[in-house]
Structure 1
Amino acid sequence: MSTALTQAPTAKRKPFGSRRPTLAEWMLIIAAGLALFSLVRIITGANGVTSTGQVSAALRLAVPIGLAGLGGLWAERAGVINIGLEGMMILGTWFGAWAGVQWGPWTGVVMGIVGGALGGLLHAIVTVSFGVNHIVSGVAINILAVGVTRYLSSFTFADMEGGTVKQSPAIDPIATITVPWLSDQMRELNGKHWFFVSDLAGFIGGVTTNLSLLTVVALALVPLTWWVLWRTAFGLRLRSCGENPTAAESLGVNVYKYKYIAVIISGGCAGLGGVFLAEVASSIYQEGQTGGRGYIGLAAMIFGNWMPGGLALGAGLFGYADSLNLRGGGENVHALLLLLTILLVLAVAWQLWRRKYVPAVITAAVAAGLFVWYLAVDEVPSQFVSAAPYVATLLVLALSAQRLRMPKSLGQSYRKGEGK
């Protein structure tokens, strides 16, 4: 018998684009993206797009969005749609501020998580036990959270010195950390405006300067979530409830229990995002403080294809877009029009390679319009800068919609024994 017949057949590696990228491929993608940022910075002269301050602000704004998205990931992997993330964040801001003012910031962190988890528990009772439509329940929680927090503020914060019905007194800040030598060196290197090297230095400097301990906790939750959901028996059972709860039940999984656990953890993550807004981003509670970040977190989760790593990239993108508004980045947004044009041209090439001609024509038309806008103006109006996070949300969801794969039983009502 020939050697060719005795050898086991080798599986062909799927082409890139039809499988999930490996870690090495992700690193190459990130490096290519940073190189593209650097090229646009040099062409336009907008050195602020990768400055240490810009990256630091983007990280601070990305954390609450990422925590909300992480909450959505836990719930939706178990098959429960959580539109109520916004309301759970609101509960987290209020409970975190209320406890933080009286007993210190870390007690506020714990109580903020508890407040969000209570919202998650309510959502689980209504959707899992009573079978109410998940969207209806989530919207109701968002509305309820606004009313409840205003009512509670009327006889708590309003009676405290420096507080009102819509605002709490100041909360003691959570400690921050800075890597002194590395931070100084990266800031100096970033100021030289070299290609790629200075941009990488700006990124490293941004994540090593005045980094809140709560930010470190939030960043650690991303790999922890991945490990729990994809590397433990508990995570496998929980995800099976979102894929096929009837099959999971037949294998002895208590579907109700796992859905409850997932939605309560979801609320706790969103509540932690709310605490971050109250204690790190501003040091006070203010009514309307969440500003729709719960919804943007949900969009980041969808962009990330219900995966922690993709979610983190989506949150970073939205946080960066929001930081442009915070730092008055009209010039920077104008430079990013050129970046977006280049990305759309690359998308056109990708669509042509896959023989999707109609989307390619539409994308090319949008790219041409953006390039004409870039050439016609020197600075983008402030109104567009304010809308940048929401425009980014729409664009990202539109461009990523074709590769999404949600859990198969997401949003479906489940009753024990219904498959028998």
Structure 2
Amino acid sequence: MSTASVAKPPAKQPAAGRRRISLPVLLLSIAGVLVLISLVRVITGADGITSTGQMSTALKLAVPIGLAGLGGLWAERAGVVNIGLEGMLILGTWFGAWAGFQWGPWVGVLFGVLGGALGGLLHAIVTVTFNVNHIVSGVALNILALGVTRYLATFAFEGEEGGTSKQSPPVESLGDFSVPGLSDWLMDLNGKHWFLVSDLAGLIGGLVTGLSPLTVVAVAMVPLSWWVLWRTSFGLRLRSCGENPVAAESLGVNVYKYKYLAVIISGGFAGLGGAFLSLVASNIYLEGQTGGRGYIGLAAMIFGNWMPGGLALGAGLFGYTDSLKLRGGGTNVHALLLLLAILLVIGAIYLAWRKRYVPAAITAAVSVLMFLWYGLTDEVPNQVVTATPYVVTLLVLSLSAQRLRMPKADGMPYRRGQGK
């Protein structure tokens, strides 16, 4: 039989849920959301939702979430699930505050990174060498970090002025700065409350006003991580360990080494986020100050589809919703109910256009409820404001779940030589 007579199997089409959003579509979507936010601000009069102060606070709150997410990105790109990010954040807060109190804030930053990296090393030993379930190891690390820091704080901080078994004495600040000229000009422009222009000024102004040097370092880690992971041979080998470790080993890659390096770097990023909390966000270590940011960072990483840029957008979104608790509270969240209702209407129209009539009807019904909630109230309860970051986390993950594409070998056990 000739090979020409043999029918070729149809080419495998990529799953629809795995299509990547192109950059132009993403930019247009972001621009559309900004226009809607500006429209909502004008209608509701809630100028605080795009003020420079709101955006500056959102950036400060987004940094530890983004750093934790970067930690998760490095580990999972090498095939190791890192649920222990919360524990590594906790280690970073304690070691950062302890060393910062002893020898100054920049030494505190270094020790915060080392504390998180130590947690990463422990997670790597347990998961890579002993092949323990990654989720079990991460949960155990979170519990261990909380207990260890509570124990150490009793010896390190009790007896010091301003220190107790649950908090450190105040730590010297790293200081902050604003971009001269540009910061004041953008703040003045934001204060004019013009449609879209003032909102853009508030967004950009928040990125150049009251910055800590550590904020600049943290933001720079996003493009740096992208360059290392996607533009260097080191990053290619590391990512191959998360996609197909057997094939990577067959090409001479030391899979164990790259998994260890990835998880230790992961812990270092989370530790840097913890140091940010205790040295920049509050200038003090306080038990429980991580507030679940390790888990939210993991959610930001998943929302970003295991990519640094998407992760940064997710961290910014969660940081912004978290900042609503501190500035404007119920008034700002009440205004955002109108934004959510409009977005749901757009979603219902899109679903109907795709002929998905049942989800479209449900989405439209929810949008009506949002409009009613907004129209019949003047302010939302404080409990709703407090829960907003966590509700947004659940909504974002549920809505973006269909487009996710995790590394193929993420969380899978691996033994050297198993492909032979």
Report the TM range for the smaller structure's normalisation: over 0.9
Pairing 1:198-213 to 2, within 5 Å after superposition: 198-213=198-213
Shift of residue 17 of structure 1?
9.2
Match of 1:320 in 2: 320
> Equivalent residue of 1:326, what SS?
coil
Aligned: 1:180 with 2:172? no
Which AA in structure 2 matches 1:413?
A: P
**Quick one: distance in 1 between partners of 2:356 and 2:240?**
34
Change (3 A) 1:308 1:405: same
- C-alpha contact 2:18 2:402 (8 A) present in aligned 1: no
Aligned: 1:34 with 2:38? no
Stretch deviating more after TM superposition (122-131 or 362-371) = 362-371
Structure 2 gaps of 5+ residues are: 1-13
**Quick one: distance in 1 between partners of 2:392 and 2:165?**
34
Match of 1:196 in 2: 196
Shift of residue 175 of structure 1?
2.4
Match of 1:67 in 2: 67
**Quick one: distance in 2 between partners of 1:328 and 1:337?**
14
Which AA in structure 2 matches 1:104?
A: G
Match of 1:334 in 2: 334
**Quick one: distance in 2 between partners of 1:245 and 1:362?**
43
Match of 2:397 in 1: 397
Match of 1:243 in 2: 243
Stretch deviating more after TM superposition (322-331 or 309-318) = 322-331
**Quick one: distance in 2 between partners of 1:335 and 1:379?**
9
Query: What's the % identity of the aligned pairs?
Result: 74
Shift of residue 22 of structure 1?
4.2
Match of 1:368 in 2: 368
Change (3 A) 1:36 1:18: farther
Match of 2:268 in 1: 268
Match of 2:228 in 1: 228
> Equivalent residue of 1:286, what SS?
coil
Match of 2:345 in 1: 345
Match of 2:57 in 1: 57
Match of 1:151 in 2: 151
Match of 1:80 in 2: 80
Which AA in structure 1 matches 2:40?
A: V
Match of 1:103 in 2: 103
Structure 1 gaps of 5+ residues are: 1-13
Match of 2:217 in 1: 217
Match of 2:125 in 1: 125
Which AA in structure 1 matches 2:376?
A: A
Shift of residue 327 of structure 1?
1.6
> Equivalent residue of 2:71, what SS?
helix
Which AA in structure 2 matches 1:182?
A: L
**Quick one: distance in 2 between partners of 1:191 and 1:328?**
16
Superposed CA deviations along residues 291-326 of structure 1, whole A, max 9, x for unmatched, are 000000000111111110000000000000000001
Shift of residue 179 of structure 1?
1.4
Which AA in structure 2 matches 1:100?
A: G
**Quick one: distance in 2 between partners of 1:243 and 1:352?**
37
Match of 1:379 in 2: 379
Shift of residue 157 of structure 1?
0.8
> Equivalent residue of 2:93, what SS?
helix
**Quick one: distance in 1 between partners of 2:347 and 2:184?**
38
Superposed CA deviations along residues 264-290 of structure 1, whole A, max 9, x for unmatched, are 000000000000000110000000010
Superposed CA deviations along residues 204-261 of structure 1, whole A, max 9, x for unmatched, are 1111111010000000000001111111111111111111111111111111111101
Match of 2:302 in 1: 302
Superposed CA deviations along residues 129-182 of structure 1, whole A, max 9, x for unmatched, are 001000000000000001100111111111322211000011111121211211
Superposed CA deviations along residues 50-88 of structure 1, whole A, max 9, x for unmatched, are 001100000000000000011000011111110000000
Which AA in structure 1 matches 2:43?
A: I
- C-alpha contact 2:230 2:236 (8 A) present in aligned 1: yes
Change (3 A) 1:17 1:351: farther
Shift of residue 24 of structure 1?
4.0
**Quick one: distance in 2 between partners of 1:354 and 1:336?**
27
> Equivalent residue of 1:80, what SS?
coil
**Quick one: distance in 1 between partners of 2:361 and 2:263?**
42
**Quick one: distance in 1 between partners of 2:273 and 2:182?**
28
Match of 1:8 in 2: none
Which AA in structure 2 matches 1:46?
A: A
Match of 2:388 in 1: 388
Q: TM-score when scaled to structure 2?
A: 0.94
**Quick one: distance in 2 between partners of 1:289 and 1:44?**
33
- C-alpha contact 2:18 2:405 (8 A) present in aligned 1: no
Which AA in structure 2 matches 1:362?
A: I
Shift of residue 368 of structure 1?
1.8
Shift of residue 19 of structure 1?
4.3
Match of 1:9 in 2: none
**Quick one: distance in 1 between partners of 2:51 and 2:232?**
40
Supply the RMSD in Å over aligned alpha carbons. Answer: 1.5
Shift of residue 21 of structure 1?
3.8
